[in-house]
Amino acid sequence: MTRLLVALLCTLMLATAVAGEVERVRPAAVAGSWYPGDKAQLTAYLDGLLDKGRADGRGQGPVIALISPHAGYAYSGAVAADAYRQVRGRAFKRVLLLGPSHHGRFHGLSIADVTHYETPLGRIPLDMDAVERLRTSGLVGADPEAHRDEHSLEMQLPFLQRALQPGWQLVPILVGQLKPEDYPAAADLLRPLLGDDTLLVVSSDFTHYGPNYGYLPFPHDGHTAARLDALDRGSLAFILDKDPQGFLDYRARTGDTICGYRPIALLLQLLPPDSQGELVGHATSGELTGDYENSVSYLGIAFREPVKPQPRPDPADETNLPPADMHLLHRLATAAVEVAAKPGDQEARQRLAQLEEDVPAELKMPAGAFVTLRRADGELRGCVGYIKPRDPLYRAVVANGINAARNDWRFPPLQPQELKGLEVEVSVLTPPKPVDSYRDFKVGEEGVILEKDGHSAVFLPEVAREYGWTREQTLSHLAHKAGLADDAWQQGASFKTFRTQSFSAPFPAE
């Protein structure tokens, strides 16, 4: 009997030891400082943030990936909630979480040698099958020093625990130093983990500005907030274009202190070509504290899988700004034209600056835009624009208002006496889409771009309407504008079409 008890006791001790060896937990490192450490308090705090808005992203497909900030919740929590609200209530099998390493200087990818991550909300199991498959690659290691105090992965976990339905497993990866050839190699390694049952999350803050961060690309003055916004929007444009090399080149060119730039570039390698990104939240610590001497930017970005199957959408449905937004864009264009015509008028500059401060979020999304100027007799006086959505819409309108007034090579700079009775028209463009032939665009309803042998030209849809041109006349004039023979459109040319939403009124804006 004694021998049996001893044997049972030894067996129990061995099982406990084995269980203890199997379950290796990475404890929360910043709970109680960067975010609430009490379970009830943290639950209420996160639910309050998630309840403050709604998942109002413009995209229609399901979210497959997020970029979310990782500063203390007091600073970045609202933007993180904007991101996680897009997947609230969703069920996933796996969350693939990528974050930068703030403490380690390892090469490649690092996965902590644990089976669980822990937060005040409970333990999260790792997808050990996936982890073990990844560990077979020479790119993947386990740097204990890098993981011990790292917050970039941890800050996402409580949001994931509250936003998603239970039952998912975690693949937490710190991204270290990467050579150019490592990005596609790492993407090939991770791609088999993706699918309808996996959510891909990248943890990153954006611009760290000020002496505390050693980054002062411009002085701290009254324009700092606007310049930071421009810097962030520059990164955003490459991210939404899913252009990893363009994003890396922009960061190198500007020196922008985006801590998670490597995980973001890796994300852009992994996204499906037809996925659609959108900005769902944006804030800065300078905005929150009222002090931009040192400021960190936070962006929430969601990537959606397009709705499939679906025929080519009617471009008329793609631009549908409310009248108030179009009227504000017209006021911005008119103010920009006045600044161009009166470069020394400080009051005109102040009026433009004040209008730019009150721009709503929907007008800060990139979009193509044209500004057209006409004299009182209807004659063209200037027309300049961007076809592709490269800049925030309101900035494209301001820039093209100035360019239409001063930099249209066909006309001399606009003079102050010409402002009276000047007609100012703003046109917002849908993204250009290829068509099979010149027969596939609707004359007077769609704008058209012709490209051939390195030459190109564009007409807004209003041009054919104003002159009453037929399809053949429109294309002949377009080929002539491109510097080609009038009949060059008949063979060997490619075409893209777009639609516009326009607003026109005399100067000054009513």
pLDDT tens readout for residues 187-196: 999 999 998 8
Fold of 23-304: Protocatechuate 4,5-dioxygenase; Chain B (3.40.830)
Mean pLDDT of all residues in 41-45: 96
**Which tops the pLDDT comparison, 431 or 162?**
162
505: pLDDT confidence band, cut at 50, 70 and 90? confident
- 322: pLDDT strictly greater than 80: yes
pLDDT (0 to 100) of residue 500:
86
Going by C-beta distance under 8 Å and a sequence separation of 6 or more, which residues neighbour residue 347?
none
318: pLDDT confidence band, cut at 50, 70 and 90? low
Lowest mean pLDDT among 33-42, 105-114, 454-463: 454-463
507: pLDDT confidence band, cut at 50, 70 and 90? confident
Tokens of 455: 């030459």
Query: Which class in CATH covers the domain with range 433-501?
Result: alpha beta
Mean pLDDT of all residues in 145-168: 95
pLDDT (0 to 100) of residue 357:
86
Tokens of 336: 């920009």
Domain 317-429 is classified in which CATH homologous superfamily? Answer: Hypothetical protein ph0010; domain 1 (3.30.700.20)
54: pLDDT confidence band, cut at 50, 70 and 90? low
Using one digit for the tens of pLDDT, what is the confidence trace for 279-315? 999 999 999 999 999 999 999 999 998 765 544 444 3
Domain 433-501 in the same topology as domain 317-429? no
Provide DSSP, 461-485: HHHHHHHT--HHHHHHHHHHHTTS-
Cβ-in-10-Å burial (0-12, 13-18, 19+) of 505 comes to middle
Please name the amino acid found at residue 236. Answer: L
CA distances from 180 to 245, 246, 260 (A): 9, 13, 16
pLDDT (0 to 100) of residue 10:
38
55: pLDDT confidence band, cut at 50, 70 and 90? low
Residue 322's φ and ψ, nearest 5 degrees, are -65, 155
**Which tops the pLDDT comparison, 358 or 374?**
374
pLDDT (0 to 100) of residue 63:
95
Using one digit for the tens of pLDDT, what is the confidence trace for 113-149? 999 999 999 999 999 999 999 999 999 999 999 999 9
pLDDT (0 to 100) of residue 439:
86
- pTM for the model stands at 0.59
pLDDT (0 to 100) of residue 60:
64
Q: Where are the domains of the chain?
A: 23-304, 317-429, 433-501
pLDDT (0 to 100) of residue 358:
79
Average pLDDT for the chain: 89
Check: CB of residue 198 under 8 Å from CB of residue 96.
Answer: yes
